[in-house]
Amino acid sequence: MRGLFAAVMLMGIFSFLGASWMLLLDAPDVAFTEASVGAGISTILALATLALTTRKAKVPVRRPALPLLIVAVTGAALVYGTLDMPHFGDPEAPASNYPHPSYVERTEHDIHVPNVVTAVLASYRGYDTLGETVVIFTAGIAVLALLRGSRKRQPTGGGGEDAG
């Protein structure tokens, strides 16, 4: 498929299906993120990129035999890996045991917040979320530096140097 517009649309649809799937698995917080970031903003940014570049992919000069082999082998390895995973909804699965169930039990007493996901994200794992916020901050600054650096700075009137 050489039409990049269709590729972006398919990516958005895939992302939205992923969000629906997360919702079916009772993970509304994740579904929410996937729908807004994956299906929403990412699609918009990809479309903006298309508007800046081109809507047709270039015809590859080499034959894709080796990449196809690598993709097939990696895919087979991943599928093989899933064979070892616990069954869906298994109460003995590490995912059900390792983040100790006491988080769910203690949240009510410690934090009085019904949404355990928020409690874990913002309080029990506050350091991690601070790190995530810094990652987003860094990514934003990097994109601004990259995209703005290549263009000549145009003089804008009035923009005072009010912050470092």
Cβ atoms within 10 Å, residue 42: 16
Give CA–CA dist 160/66, Å, rounded. Answer: 55
Helices (DSSP H) in the chain: which residue ranges?
4-24, 28-33, 42-52, 65-82, 94-97, 102-110, 116-119, 126-149
Does 4 contact other proteins by CB under 8 A?
A: no
Rg, the chain, Cα only: 22
Phi, psi of 137 (to 5 degrees): -55, -50
Give CA–CA dist 115/106, Å, rounded. Answer: 12
Task: Select from 55-63, 70-78, 98-106, 136-144 the region that touches other proteins (CB under 8 A).
Answer: 136-144
Cβ atoms within 10 Å, residue 132: 12
Size of the site for other proteins (CB under 8 A): 49
| 26-45: contacts with other proteins (CB under 8 A) | 28-29, 31-33, 36-37, 40-41, 44-45
- The answer to whether 3 and 55 are in contact (CB under 8 A) is yes
Task: Select from 2-10, 23-31, 84-92, 93-101 the region that touches other proteins (CB under 8 A).
Answer: 23-31
Does 122 contact other proteins by CB under 8 A?
A: yes
Name the residue among 92, 94, 110, 90 with its Cα closest to residue 102.
110
Task: Select from 3-11, 68-76, 88-96, 131-139 the region that touches other proteins (CB under 8 A).
Answer: 131-139
| 145-164: contacts with other proteins (CB under 8 A) | 147-148, 151, 154, 159, 162-163
Does 74 contact other proteins by CB under 8 A?
A: no
Residues that bind other proteins (CB under 8 A): 28-29, 31-33, 36-37, 40-41, 44-45, 48-49, 51-52, 109-115, 117-119, 121-123, 126-127, 129-130, 132-134, 136-137, 139-141, 143-144, 147-148, 151, 154, 159, 162-163
